[in-house]
């Protein structure tokens, strides 16, 4: 979890690959309307996010029901969003990729072909409620170090 540009997809894919687990890119669950809204530089509202979070919760819940591990990326900016994602499911853990505005803007400016651009950084950081119950990692660390830290902290 973390703001746009924190490296969620890059780290999530690397972690899933290292563990041999399935990977789910949370951005793929956004509606076309939400993607268009973000592409235009407008932040999503709670109403926009509600079906997206519910869909991701279903994906996580199905994996838990099958007793299959899974790595999912999602901004999960608010505590209440993380509560929706976790619900009553056990074993759901969060990794917070923490980055400052300059890092996020730089990454989003350099990134091509994605709907989230640098104009979203301010609103993402304004919305962000840093988690109390997540593993917090500096998003500027090399990806392999982040993956190692997650595996070490969670005993994977």
User: Which of 97, 101, 104, 110 minimizes the C-alpha distance to 139?
Assistant: 97
Long-range contacts of 107-111 (CB under 8 A, 24+ apart): 107/5, 107/6, 107/7, 108/4, 108/5, 111/5
Pick the range with the lowest mean pLDDT from 54-58, 59-63, 118-122: 118-122
> How would you classify residue 2: left for phi > 0, otherwise alpha for psi between -120 and 50, otherwise beta?
left
Query: Which residues pair with residue 97 across a beta bridge?
Result: 137
Whole-prediction pTM: 0.87
Q: Which two tokens stand for residue 23?
A: 């990977």
Per-position DSSP letters for 88-119, written without gaps between them: T-SS---EEEE--HHHHHHHHHH--S-S--GG
Q: Which two tokens stand for residue 87?
A: 């619900």
pLDDT in tens, 103-149: 988 887 877 666 665 667 787 888 899 999 999 999 999 999 999 99
What are the sequence ranges of the domains in the chain? 8-154
- The CATH number of domain 8-154, selected from 3.40.50.20, 3.40.50.300, 2.40.50.220, 3.30.1010.10: 3.40.50.300
């Amino acid at each position: 979890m973390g703001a746009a540009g924190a490296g969620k997809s890059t780290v999530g894919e690397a972690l899933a690959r290292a563990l041999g687990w399935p990977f789910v890119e949370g951005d793929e669950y956004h509606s076309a309307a939400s993607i268009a809204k973000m592409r235009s530089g407008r932040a999503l509202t709670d109403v926009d996010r509600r079906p997206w979070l519910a869909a991701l919760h279903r994906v996580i819940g199905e994996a838990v029901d099958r007793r299959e591990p899974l790595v999912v990326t999602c901004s999960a900016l608010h505590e209440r969003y993380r509560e929706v994602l976790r619900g009553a499911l056990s074993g759901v853990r969060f990794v917070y990729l923490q980055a400052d505005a300059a890092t996020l803007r730089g990454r989003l400016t350099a990134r091509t072909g994605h709907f989230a651009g640098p104009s979203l950084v301010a609103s993402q950081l304004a919305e962000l409620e840093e988690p109390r119950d997540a593993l917090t990692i500096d998003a500027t660390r090399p990806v392999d170090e982040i993956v190692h830290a997650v595996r070490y902290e969670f005993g994977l």
